[in-house]
A = this chain, B = another copy of it.
Amino acid sequence: MPSYRAPVEDFTFVFEDFLKVYDNKDLPGFDMLDPETVDAVLTGAGKVAEEVWAPANLPGDAEGCVLENGVVRTPSVYKDAYKAWAEGGWSSVGADPQWGGMGMPGIISSAVTEIGVSSNHALSMYFGLTGAAYSAIAGIAPQEMKEMYVPKMVSGEWCGTMNLTEPHCGTDLKLMRTKAEPQDDGTYRLTGTKIFISGGDHDLADNIIHMVIAKVPGEDGKLANDLSTVNFFLVPKFLVNPDGSLGERNGVSVGSIEKKMGIKGSATCVLNFENAVAWKLGGEPKVKKDADGKERKSSSAGMAGMFQMMNMARVGVGMQGMALASVAYQNAVEYTKERIQGRSLTGKKFPDQAADPIIVHPDVRRMLMTCKSFVEAGRAFTMYLNMEFAKARAGREDAKGDLGMLLTPVLKAYFTDMGFECTNMAMQCFGGHGFVHDNGMEQFVRDSRILPIYEGANGVQALDLVGRKLLGDGGKAYNDYVDLIESFLAENKDDAGVAIMAPALQRGLDDLKTATQWLFDNLAQNPENAGGVSASYLRIFGVVTLGFMWAGMAKSAQEALDSGDGRQSDDFYKAKLVCARFWAEQMMPETASHLMKMQGGAEVMMELTADQF
């Protein structure tokens, strides 16, 4: 069975050496951070993850969820594991103290989330969606609703869900048919079917608060064919009495649960809403005038809460890719140190054994180094983005405005693609033993396979990057980002650490710039190019972004080695420099071929008729 060890040293490196978190006491919540507190959080959450959550991962997959008499039963090992996490406060590290949380900044709560996902992805989802739901409620609901729902969700007594997809309607929300009819008392009655609802029903919490988007019918009772009347609703499984006790069952039931490839401990439900009592959280649609003078209702006020949830979820899903790669990698390292097979190409390394451990073989190391260098740069980038979000919220002068928006689709898609590649490499290190259920490596592959799909398939993320994030603001956020990297390279041109990455990063950045220019030059002539080249464009973006992280981390590691006063061992810092070099030599070259692919354009993809396929 796989094991897990919370990567406390690596978090510490990112916080202290790389991001210098303790020099940023002015950022919201950062004043409460000191090395002892952060260590206590990481090791505390780590202990539950290592000793309770990780051991429940394989049995949870084997048992899965079942639907019996309309009630979803989660794996039996989940009950105590759920409680241990909630009662330790690990689900509420980032929540506002007024609701019972620890009030720590996102960089810390996100480290705890990573620890949870690595140790038990399926189980962590109940908390992840609850966190997204209570954040939305705390953000936009009226005060009395906040008080009614948020504390119980922060404590883990109640859970939350996110309801978008319908059988015929995934990415294209305009097709939505779930309707919310206004009532005289200000509530709504919600009717429709939502599918793929993670944690849509289960036995881990006393109540489940569903966050649902639905259309408000027009005066003729009909649903609009666009997003103009979509709004965001709160629909509890059990209605809540004014004193906070549970009232009668609301009109929402589980139609079925999906038998899936992975995350089998996470109940994926079809939810049937039938005249369910619902509270509207979104604002009224604003009427805007189009360029041609026609009036058009904008959905943004109604959908704002859901967009916030989706953006949180996208960042969270990207992180899941890194978190699963991390635990799969850890187990691959252990196995390749123990499994003996064949001899080193440069002669026996362990002559007293019948063979050498397979970690001596370069191709095995290529796979391990790919995982290690992705996971560590991915972790750093997640925290880096969290710092940027904090700076932006604090309105600090050095905040790079739209960086978070620009990079959210990159984080979601590149991290989940790489996460899946890495769980596969880690499994490959086990040979045939990786394919066997009981060794747990194939579960990481199956679990991670959902990541490129949910919260917007990666193709949709790529189109979001090109369409909204790059072209949407005429390249402003993109230009700021390129300036940021180029300034960094210019400022550190004499730094021995940065020098490891600098030439490869500059080459990658040049490819990114050529790719971007190609997009600006070739979209007007053929709009299909936006979709046809977007996957390659996003990949270039991802490779360069983690190259930028490695440049920064190499600088920090070199500093620590030079000064001798870092908290980690010299071996630890030297390994960072080796990973930076690996990224430069083995990962950065990818930009070259993806640029060439882009230059082919979409034409060849569009040439066949549907029947010629």
Contact surface of A with B, Cβ cutoff 8 Å: 165, 168-172, 174-175, 195-196, 225, 258-262, 333, 337, 340-342, 345-346, 354-355, 357, 359, 361-369, 372, 420, 424, 427-428, 431-432, 434-438, 442, 445-446, 449-450, 452-454, 457-459, 462-463, 527-532, 534-535, 571-572, 574-575, 578, 581-582, 585-586, 589-594, 596-597, 600-602, 604-613
Contacts and interface: CB of A to CB of B under 8 A. Distances in A.
Most buried by B among A169, A333, A368, A585: A585
Given A432-B453, A453-B435, A613 B368 contact: yes
A341 B582 CA distance: 41
Contacts of A606: 362, 365
A237 to B, nearest CB: 22
Contacts of A609: 571
A458 B459 CA distance: 28
A534 B202 CA distance: 49
Contacts of A612: 571-572, 574-575, 578
Contacts of A535: 363, 366
Contacts of A367: 459
A567 to B, nearest CB: 17
A578 B171 contact: no
Contact of A435 (B260, B345, B364, B437): B260
A605 B453 contact: no
Given A259-B436, A363-B459, A368-B613, 4 more contacts: A171-B342, A261-B437, A428-B457, A431-B457
A4 to B, nearest CB: 15
B435 A225 contact: no
Nearest to A571: B612
A531 B529 CA distance: 39
15 contacts: A165-B432, A168-B340, A171-B341, A258-B437, A362-B530, A363-B462, A369-B605, A428-B459, A432-B453, A435-B449, A581-B607, A585-B601, A591-B593, A592-B592, A593-B593
Contact of A531 (B195, B345, B531, B572): B345
B258 A436 contact: yes
Quickly give the copy total for this chain. 2
A284 to B, nearest CB: 26
A320 to B, nearest CB: 14
Contacts of A427: 449
B363 A532 contact: yes
Nearest to A454: B432
A551 B161 CA distance: 53
Given A165-B432, A449-B435, A612-B574, A605 B345 contact: no
A345 B432 contact: no
A404 B168 CA distance: 49
Nearest to A168: B340
A81 B165 CA distance: 38
Contacts of A169: 341
A260 B442 CA distance: 8
Contacts of A597: 585-586, 589
Nearest to A467: B345
A397 B91 CA distance: 73
Nearest to A349: B610
Which 8 pairs, one residue from A and one from B, show the smallest C-beta to C-beta distance? A585-B600, A589-B596, A362-B531, A362-B532, A261-B442, A593-B593, A363-B459, A259-B437
A372 B613 CA distance: 8
Nearest to A356: B172
A578 to B, nearest CB: 5
Given A431-B457, A435-B260, A575 B366 contact: no
Given A171-B341, A528-B345, A608-B578, A364 B459 contact: yes
A432 B196 contact: yes
A438 B354 CA distance: 46
B361 A432 contact: no
A594 B602 CA distance: 23
A169 B341 CA distance: 7
Contact of A450 (B435, B437, B607): B435
A500 B458 CA distance: 31
A297 B588 CA distance: 47
Nearest to A591: B593
A365 B534 CA distance: 12
Most buried by B among A354, A431, A442, A463: A431
A491 B500 CA distance: 46
Contacts of A341: 169-172, 175
Contacts of A195: 432
Contacts of A450: 435
A530 B342 CA distance: 15
A586 B600 contact: yes
B613 A362 contact: no
A446 B445 CA distance: 9
Contacts of A586: 597, 600, 604
A489 to B, nearest CB: 20
Contact of A261 (B357, B362, B435, B593): B435
A458 B431 CA distance: 10
Nearest to A590: B593
B428 A452 contact: yes
A531 B428 CA distance: 16
Most buried by B among A346, A454, A532: A532
B463 A363 contact: yes
A457 to B, nearest CB: 5
B534 A363 contact: yes
